[in-house]
Amino acid sequence: MKKVYINSIASISPQKTFDSSEFLNEIIIHEDQVVFAVEPVYKDYIPPAAARRMAKGIKMGVVASKMALREAGLEQVDAIITGTGMGCLRDSEKFLSGIIDNNEQFLTPTSFIQSTHNTVGGQIALELQCKGYNFTYVHGSNSFESALMDAKLQLELEEAENILIGGVDELADYTTKLNKIIHHIKDKKTSSHNLLDSKTKGAVFGEGANFFVLSNKKQATAYAEVVSVKIFNTLSESDVAETALSFLKENNLTVEAIDAIVLGRNGDVEFDGFYTKLSLSLFSNTPQICYKHLIGEFNTASPFGIWLASKILKTQNVPNVLKWNEKNTSSYNTILLYNQYRGENHSFIILKSC
């Protein structure tokens, strides 16, 4: 079986991450319950007329995909696999409120067409004229991980050589309101400074697009090797440590071999216990890294974890703002990532320097 490499990375997030030569050089401290993506200059990547027609999620997805292709020096890929938890929310809201407000009359198809979950994947294919394999996964916080798993399988079996994968989700106003009334979004504004220690219910919601070129041919630009990815629809808090251990064992690794663990902790007192199970026990001596205080929570926030782990493996540098504990290590070679959302859809990923 072939090894699988991350040859390029691209991130549009609530931090200034779109410039790939930087690694969180300046941090934006967010204060609100929802945090919006910092957008690049879209016209550097797509014609302004096209950009105007696209909702933010589509724009972020299409542009992040172009950034990833540019870094990999590719004009074409063999497959495009995207993940999105909520799909094109803004167009969905627009079309739905149109239906209700105007009693099913005077509707135009544009927002319906753009509301389908596979809009971003389809748009990228259209722009690249890529007729290859094209999938969109929509499974909550495992949407991106499903795409990663799928791509890895194809590359290992040499069914493809270069695959573009990505995760994208956008915030939309009405859905934000709904998530506030059911307290999935925090009741009070919370600063990035103390979000992860907030001890309150709910999360701060964010948005973004993270795209990668995966390949079974390592390029000079390569960041990391994707060693393993595994997803679980359910796990109880008491399962997490054992599951992490057996995942490491399946990959012939021990806890000591892990140079850093990237946790999807989001400051929700109800569900951060899953992460604490790992941070206080098995990995208490391992450098721990958190990121959702910088970008908020969304179904495809976890690929930001992959983005930063890739950066760490390549640069051997961990920005202080990411450090959850005081532990350090001389070199970062193997990183474990764990994520879940509201106790569902857990993922474990191992990345290795290459």
- 306 close to 225: Cβ distance less than 8 angstroms: no
146 binds another protein (CB under 8 A): yes
Pairwise CA distance, residues 259 & 317, whole Å: 12
Site membership for another protein, residue 76 (CB under 8 A): no
**What's the CA gap between 77 and 80, in Å, rounded?**
7
Choice from 122, 202, 264, 305 touching another protein (CB under 8 A): 122
Residue 233 or 276: the one with the smaller Cβ distance to another protein is 233
Q: Which of 11, 13, 17, 142 binds another protein (CB under 8 A)?
A: 142
Helix (H) or strand (E) holding 215: strand 208-215
Q: Does position 131 bind another protein by CB under 8 A?
A: yes
Rounded Cα distance, 128 and 110, in Å? 21
Question: Residue 274's closest CA among 235, 305, 327?
Answer: 235
- How many chain residues bind another protein (CB under 8 A)? 67
Amino acid at 282: L
Q: How far is residue 279's CA from residue 265's CA, in Å, rounded to a whole number?
A: 10
Is residue 104 near another protein by the rule CB under 8 A? yes
Q: Which is nearer to another protein, 102 or 315 (CB)?
A: 102
- Residue 79's DSSP bridge partners are 133, 163
Query: Binding another protein by CB under 8 A: which of 103, 238, 320, 331?
Result: 103
Candidates 35, 125, 195, 301: give the one binding another protein (CB under 8 A).
Answer: 125
Instruction: Select the span of 136-144, 160-168, 312-320, 332-340 touching another protein (CB under 8 A).
Output: 136-144
DSSP state of 283: T
Does position 50 interact with another protein (CB under 8 A)? The reply is no
Residue selected from 135, 225, 241, 245 as contacting another protein according to rule CB under 8 A: 135
217-256 binders of another protein (CB under 8 A): 230-235, 239, 243
By CB under 8 A, name the one of 179, 198, 215, 216 that touches another protein: 179
- By CB under 8 A, is residue 353 in contact with another protein? no
Among 25, 76, 108, 285, binds another protein (CB under 8 A): 108
CB 179 → another protein: shortest distance, Å? 7
CA dist., res. 116 & res. 129, Å (int): 20
Which residues, numbered 149-178, are part of the site for another protein (CB under 8 A)? 150, 153, 156-157, 174, 177-178
Least distance between another protein and beta carbon 320 (Å) = 35
Q: Give the number of other CB atoms < 10 A from CB of residue 281.
A: 12
Residue 19, phi then psi, degrees to nearest 5: -90, 105
Sequence-distant (≥ 6) Cβ neighbours of residue 28 within 8 angstroms: 14, 15, 16, 38, 192, 294
CA distance 139 to 239: 21
Non-local (6+) Cβ contacts of 72 within 8 A are 7, 8, 162, 213, 215, 219, 221
The angle formed by the CA atoms of residues 268, 15 and 30, to the nearest 5 degrees, is 50
Binding of another protein by 49 (CB under 8 A): no
Would you say 36 or 135 has its CB closer to another protein? 135
Residues that bind another protein (CB under 8 A): 80, 85-87, 92, 95-97, 99-100, 103-105, 107-109, 112-119, 121-123, 125-126, 128-140, 142-143, 146, 150, 153, 156-157, 174, 177-179, 181-182, 184, 230-235, 239, 243, 299, 344-345
